[in-house]
A and B are shown apart, each in its own frame.
Chain A
Amino acid sequence: MKPLNEITIAEARKLLDEGVATSKELTQACLTQIQSLDGALHAFLEVYADDALAAADQSDQRRTDGNVLSKLDGIPVAIKDNMLLQGKACTAGSKILQGHIAAYNSTAVRKLMEAGAVILGRTNMDEFAMGSSTEHSAYGPTKHPRDPERVPGGSSGGSAVAVAANMCLGALGSDTGGSIRQPASMCGIFGLKPTYGRVSRYGLMAMASSLDQIGPMTKCVEDAAIILDTIQGQDPSDQTTSDTEPFRISKLESRSSNDLKGLKIGLPKQAWQAGGIESRVLENTKAALAELEKAGAEMVEIDLPYADEALAVYYILMPCEVSANLARFDGMRYGLRKQGLPLFETYAQSRAEGFGDEVMRRILLGTFALSSGYIDAYYVCAKKVQALIRQAYERAFNEVDLIVTPTCPATAFRLGEKLNDPLAMYLEDVFTVSVNVAGVPAISMPCQEDGGMPVGLQLIGKWFDEATVLSAAKVLESELAKQ
């Protein structure tokens, strides 16, 4: 039997139900792994060992009493440091919130706890989720579990490493332009960005409110489905959550294990023929495509225009929303305040000291793109191109059921490699951002495991059609496991 921290949520559920393992043993196995590895990897900003063990005891008691709450009852998971958990520090990886204690629970974390999940701790991230490497955390970078000289991707790099290095059974990340999928790809795990409006953003520290979405980061497709099933749903505290039919795990189970007949997959030529894709990424993702085809899927080349423009649209809309959302950090009601200064200086010095350079760069970019004289050429123009990008997805999905691309153009890069070139860092997101701009769901899943740096394949679905995304991913997962 595998060590308890290395198994999936689905496997752990089985062991718990059969009485072979307890939540306390699962939790202790994860805590031991954190203790031995996290000094080197720095995936966690804080570990709640005592609370986690107490929650595990309660879960074990419930199981003894025959009152298991859900599939997640007793499962140790990690959350990203931008999701509020009442009474615990929450900093979004920023110095401006050092010592800030969450006053209430985010909906997604509350739902995890109501399902009986054990929260192990909060994970490292790029400051306010701005970055693709977790190097922009004010608390130091997270390292790649296979090579500590490399980045794990970002911004949910801490959650990705916690899952990949078996320090938890699953984790939550947040994705504004790829922040779940890109680190999942680089660390060789599964990361799902749900449809915008599927999961409540209440209690998630806002980066770009019209693009942010919380989602699962896991070791297998089924685990992602279990977590999505738990955290999804309309929320009166987030008016952008949708009343659409919820995702049901039963839909995932209804497709037979190796059959993709009748599924039409679109391969956008703008992605597959784009220059600059690393050869290792091309080889591994194309091998995965061949497996999808063998399983019966029909592959067609499609035209998905505005691929480059989507990144430009994103790097206008996102900073605009950032500049508005981060205006709340003014040193008045919470966060860092420089004392003994006149009002203007209190604002300006508190912010300049509390925010990192990347955050300030994006605030200024947004301030520019929204300023009088430029707003039409930048913000309004970007909102119009966004409409065209959504139309392009609508047209594509009239022809196909899924769209598939590599998740990232390259594998994990070296620490510091892109730190002084913000545009190079932004180009990391070239395949992931258009999904957020359109609001559709997408998963990144690992291609064939060969011991090298992991490569991710991205499966993009129609609005609110996580079921097709996850069921195709599940078939591919089992085909790849056979090799």
Chain B
Amino acid sequence: MKLSKEEIAHLAKLARLDLPEEKLEKITKDFGSILEYVGRIQKVDIQGIEPFTMPAKSEGWRPDEAFEVDEATRELILANFPERAGDLLAAPGVFETPKK
């Protein structure tokens, strides 16, 4: 299995990674040997085998409850916002192109 540079560019778009040409080329090359190596699992006989899933340790769902944090914790969370408008998180507009 080999992927082309165009296919890697499409994956980068899906993964929201803005990669320059030279990085796309490097990754395309790396993918060749990695995919060849991991492809060996397709030769394993998996007839009738169910995919492994982690046995659930908990008793189903817990109530979706908000829990209070102290003021210091709240301030730490707010301080990590890349951009703040008062106590609100500022984010780029979804439908507009910002003025540079």
Residue A390 contacts which of B13, B41, B52, B73 (CB distance < 8 angstroms)? Answer: B52
Residues on A with C-beta less than 8 A from B52 are 383-384, 386-387, 390
Which of these, A365, A381, A387, contacts B41 with CB under 8 Å?
A: A381
Considering the chains assembled together, what is the distance between the CA atoms of A349 and B82 in angstroms?
14
Question: Is A2 engaged at the interface, CB distance under 8 Å to the other chain?
Answer: no
Question: Is B34 a contact partner of A426 (Cβ separation < 8 A)?
Answer: yes
Instruction: Please report whether the interface of chain A is mostly helix, strand, loop or mixed according to DSSP.
Output: helix
Q: Does B85 contact A (CB under 8 A)?
A: no
Does A70 have its Cβ within 8 Å of any Cβ on chain B?
Answer: no
Question: Is A333 a contact of B37 with CB atoms below 8 Å?
Answer: no
Query: Does A452 sit at the interface, judged by CB under 8 A?
Result: no
B15 touches A309 (CB 8 A): no
> Is the C-beta of A341 less than 8 angstroms from some C-beta in chain B?
yes
Residues of B within 8 A of A327 (CB): 16
Segment from A185-193, A245-253, A263-271, A312-320 that makes contact with B:
A312-320
Given contacts A312-B37, A342-B98, A384 and B18 within 8 Å (CB-CB): no
Q: Which A residues are in CB contact (< 8 Å) with B40? A: 308-309, 312
Main secondary structure of the interface of B (DSSP, over half): loop
Q: Is B27 in contact with A360, judged by CB distance below 8 angstroms? A: yes
- The reply to whether A316 and B18 contact each other, CB–CB distance below 8 Å, is no
**Binary interface encoding of chain A residues 333-361 relative to chain B, with 1 for a CB under 8 A from any of its CBs, else 0:** 11111011111111111011001010011
A343 engages B92 (CB within 8 Å): yes
Judge whether B83 is part of the interface by a CB distance below 8 angstroms. Answer: yes
Contact across chains for B49 and A332 when beta carbons are under 8 A apart: no
B32-61 interface with A by 8 A CB criterion: 33-34, 37-42, 44, 46, 49-54, 56-58
Tell me, in angstroms, the Cα distance from A357 to B76 when the chains sit together. Answer: 30
Contact B15 A363, beta carbon cutoff 8 Å: yes
The answer to whether B76 touches A364 (Cβ under 8 A) is no
CA distance A390 to B50 in the complex (A): 12
The segment from A33-41, A95-103, A440-448 found at the interface with B is A95-103
Judged by a CB distance under 8 angstroms, whether B14 is at the interface is: yes
Known: A360-B27, A365-B31. A378 touches B54 (CB 8 A): no
Contact A334 B57 (CB under 8 A): no
Picked from A243, A352, A378, A380, the residue with its CB within 8 Å of the CB of B18 is A352
Are A385 and B38 in touch, CB under 8 angstroms? no
Which B residue sits closest to A330, measured CB to CB?
B16
Are B57 and A388 in contact, with the CB atoms below 8 A? Answer: no
A120 at the interface (CB under 8 A from B): no
Interface size class of A (residues with CB under 8 A): 35 or more
Q: Which residue of A lies closest to B38 (CB)?
A: A312
Give Cα distance in the complex from A334 to B90, angstroms: 11
B99 nearest CB across to chain A (Å): 8
What residues on A are CB-neighbors of B31 within 8 Å?
364-365, 368
Nearest-CB residue, chain B, relative to A305:
B44
A220 to B46: give the CA distance in the assembly, Å.
42
Question: Is A407 on the interface with B (CB-CB < 8 A)?
Answer: no
CB-based contact A387/B16 at 8 Å: no
Which of B14, B15, B54, B56 makes the CB contact (< 8 A) with A210? B54
Q: Are A101 and B76 in contact (CB under 8 A)?
A: yes
Smallest CB–CB gap between B54 and chain A, Å?
6
B76: chain A residues at CB < 8 Å are 86-87, 101-103
* Residues of chain B at the chain A interface (Cβ within 8 Å): 3, 8, 11-19, 23, 26-27, 30-31, 33-34, 37-42, 44, 46, 49-54, 56-58, 69, 72-73, 76-77, 79-83, 89, 91-94, 96-98, 100
Chain A contacts to B: CB under 8 angstroms: 86-87, 100-104, 197, 210, 234, 239-243, 306, 308-309, 311-313, 315-316, 323, 327, 330-337, 339-349, 351-352, 355, 357, 360-361, 363-365, 367-368, 371, 377-378, 380-388, 390, 422-423, 426
Q: Add 5 more A-B contacts to A101-B76, A345-B18 (CB < 8 A).
A: A104-B73, A316-B38, A340-B98, A342-B97, A348-B16
